[in-house]
Structure 1
Amino acid sequence: MNYKHLHYFWTVLRTGGIVRASEQLHLTPQTLSGQIKLLEEHMGQPLLRKVGRGVEPTDAGRLVMRYADEIFALGASLQEALASGRDTRRSTVLRVGIADSVPKAVAFHVLEPAMDLPEPPRLACHEGGLTGLLGELAVHRLDLIVSDVPAPVSLSVRVYTHLLGRSGVGFFAAPRLLKAAGLTAQRAKKTFPACLAAMPLLLPSTHTALRPRLDAWLHQHQLTPQVAAEFDDSALLKAFGREGRGVFAAPAVLAGEIAQQYQVQWLGTPQDLTEEFYAISVERRITHPAVAAITAAARGKLFAAH
């Protein structure tokens, strides 16, 4: 394999397209496309496909990109070692799949303990749908999946689900939204959850684990707020919430962090509404030291009070 061609492919995906990559690599777009075509011929399958005016990786391209990330990270580590005179390599790589419905802040706090180990692994995080991640786990391309739902019992491959913990679900609103609804933060908290009926609501999309629980909870409490928008991405949902476009729900375990980061008011956390987070691995009994650190910290600290 020509590693220069692999580097070209890697740069195209890192920069977001052929034109940007060609500028960075000081090549013409035609030359760059031709070099990537040679890589595809060597691999025996297409790695990129056109989407509008840009490109995106095929399934094979995503796999190649993951290996390329590790290859060129190791190359950068070699340069650093030569410059410093010290071997700076981390002994292991922890390959983690993060289900796209898991809030990014939760994923960070779940994985953070692995980076605090005396000899921390190098994290390689990949986000996607749970079904695809489970396939990667089954063939040992991932060491761990962080998910908000357990692995399906009907799965044909043997994986094990480990409960990391439960969190209440808090509701948050921007001050401008409360003002538009004629509410003060104190009044909204006092009348929660009835106050939700006076404001638009931002909801996670229907494929998330939280959405059916939210729908059932709203129905149980006879609340029918106007749904302003639905989102696959929890970070985008919170960004809309920060701008006062609607009330949003998020893990109460991160309530203080969310209130500070997005400049919103916490309204309340119902006792009858929770969400769960899981680690999914091929190990029935966790022996990987980094995974053990992650699960122990999640149960003993992050979700301990919830």
Structure 2
Amino acid sequence: MSHLNYRHLHYFWVVAKEGGLARAADRLGMAVQTVSAQVKSLEQALGHQLFKPSGRKLVLTEAGQAAFTRAEEIFQIGQRIPEEVHQAATAETLRLSVGLSDGISKLAAHALLEPVLEANSLKLVCHEGEVEHLLSELALHHLDLVLTCQPAPPNPNLRLTSSRIADSAVDWWGPANMVRPFHQNNFPACLNELPVLLPTRHAVLRASVERWFEQQGLRPRIVGEFEDSALMAVFASRGLGVFPLSRLGGGKADGGLMGQLSLLGHSEDLREEVYAIRSRRSQHHPLVQRVLASAGVGSTETTAEAE
């Protein structure tokens, strides 16, 4: 089938709404013959008759009704375009593009970005990916900020600055019926008796957790691995197992997803770090500065410039 001619579709749509060629031609300011020819061209392109006569009027065939339904959607949207373009052109939008590394806790990332969420006319764009790719996008100014579990590696070509903006203890959570029998006085030994969910192996936290298991003499039964901490929390809330979560991302079990989970225990010596990485240009972005200021990054904060 040939490509749809939207001019022909528009003429068909007007004829259908007006109920006849004469009224449609009057509305369009065109000759009846011209409008009729355009509709016939559309019928030929689609391979089906769209109108049939009914007295002095034209009514839609079954095929015509299907075409009209879609045309109505298309041209109603089209009628909104001028207003939306005007609003977009005149609004003072403050855009922040953030890269989140695969291994970072997404609940922790949300907590760190919370200071910018009330900014007027905010447009927040979040990308997830491998650290190397995100840092390349940052160096090309496609991103304003990257949040990751490790500082940027030294690279004189990227000219990036890293600051640690979080160093949080890790707690263990699980569904209430699974956590309740153990209480916190049997932690962490109870992890040997419970099904455990962990981040996948590319996450920095996973390696820290495994070292911590070894230090504690634990050999838990791992029943699930997840790249996304929020997804891990969802499966935990459905009874799959208990899981570790940065206190930054899950310390306030005051509603929402975390409100469906119970605290199993604290592991103060197990930590998750988060670094904010920015380019020389993006470090002046007002929302990047707000994130850093909220995390206490200032003149006393140790930063490492990879250049």
- Normalised to the residue count of structure 1, the TM-score between the two structures is 0.64
Residue of structure 1 equivalent to 2:118: 116
Q: 5+ residue gaps in structure 1? A: 1-30, 32-75, 301-306
Say if 2:107 and 2:229, in contact at 8 Å, map to a contact too: no
Where has structure 1 moved over 6 Å in runs of 4 or more?
none
For 2:148 and 2:237, locate their aligned partners in 1 and report how far apart those are by CA, in whole Å. 25
Residue of structure 1 equivalent to 2:251: 255
Backbone CA RMSD of aligned residues: 3.0
1:163 to partner: Cα distance? 1.1
Structure 1 pair 258/217, CA: closer, same or farther in 2 (3 Å)? Answer: farther
Verify: 1:166 aligned to 2:167, yes or no: yes
1:122 to partner: Cα distance? 2.2
Q: SS where residue 112 of structure 2 aligns?
A: helix
Verify: 1:292 aligned to 2:294, yes or no: no
1:258 to partner: Cα distance? 7.5
1:168 to partner: Cα distance? 0.7
For 1:273 and 1:147, locate their aligned partners in 2 and report how far apart those are by CA, in whole Å. 17
Residue of structure 2 equivalent to 1:79: 83
For 1:258 and 1:281, locate their aligned partners in 2 and report how far apart those are by CA, in whole Å. 32
Q: SS where residue 268 of structure 2 aligns?
A: coil
Q: 5+ residue gaps in structure 2? A: 1-45, 47-79, 298-307
1:103 to partner: Cα distance? 2.4
Residue of structure 2 equivalent to 1:134: 135
Where in structure 2 are the equivalents of 1:214-293 lying within 5 Å?
214-253=209-248, 254-257=250-253, 261-262=257-258, 263-283=260-280, 286-293=283-290
Where in structure 2 are the equivalents of 1:201-216 lying within 5 Å?
201-216=196-211
1:100 to partner: Cα distance? 2.3
Structure 1 pair 252/264, CA: closer, same or farther in 2 (3 Å)? Answer: same
Letter in 1 for 2:251: A
Structure 1 pair 194/258, CA: closer, same or farther in 2 (3 Å)? Answer: farther
Structure 1 pair 116/195, CA: closer, same or farther in 2 (3 Å)? Answer: same
Letter in 1 for 2:289: A
For 1:156 and 1:169, locate their aligned partners in 2 and report how far apart those are by CA, in whole Å. 35
Residue of structure 2 equivalent to 1:149: 150
User: Whose Rg is larger?
Assistant: 2
Letter in 1 for 2:287: A
Residue 89 of structure 1 is aligned with which of 88, 91, 97? Answer: 91
Residue 103 of structure 1 is aligned with which of 105, 115, 125? Answer: 105
Where in structure 2 are the equivalents of 1:31-110 lying within 5 Å?
79-80=83-84, 89-110=91-112
Which structure carries more strand by proportion? 2
Say if 2:101 and 2:134, in contact at 8 Å, map to a contact too: yes
For 2:291 and 2:186, locate their aligned partners in 1 and report how far apart those are by CA, in whole Å. 38
Aligned residues: 219
- Deviation per CA, 1:65-121, whole angstroms, max 9, x where unpaired? xxxxxxxxxxx8963475x8x97623442221111222222222222222334x554
- Normalised to the residue count of structure 2, the TM-score between the two structures is 0.63
1:244 to partner: Cα distance? 1.7
Q: SS where residue 271 of structure 1 aligns?
A: strand
Say if 2:141 and 2:282, in contact at 8 Å, map to a contact too: no
For 2:102 and 2:282, locate their aligned partners in 1 and report how far apart those are by CA, in whole Å. 26
Structure 1 pair 276/78, CA: closer, same or farther in 2 (3 Å)? Answer: farther
For 1:189 and 1:285, locate their aligned partners in 2 and report how far apart those are by CA, in whole Å. 44
Q: SS where residue 292 of structure 1 aligns?
A: helix
1:284 to partner: Cα distance? 9.1
Q: Tell me the percent identity.
A: 34
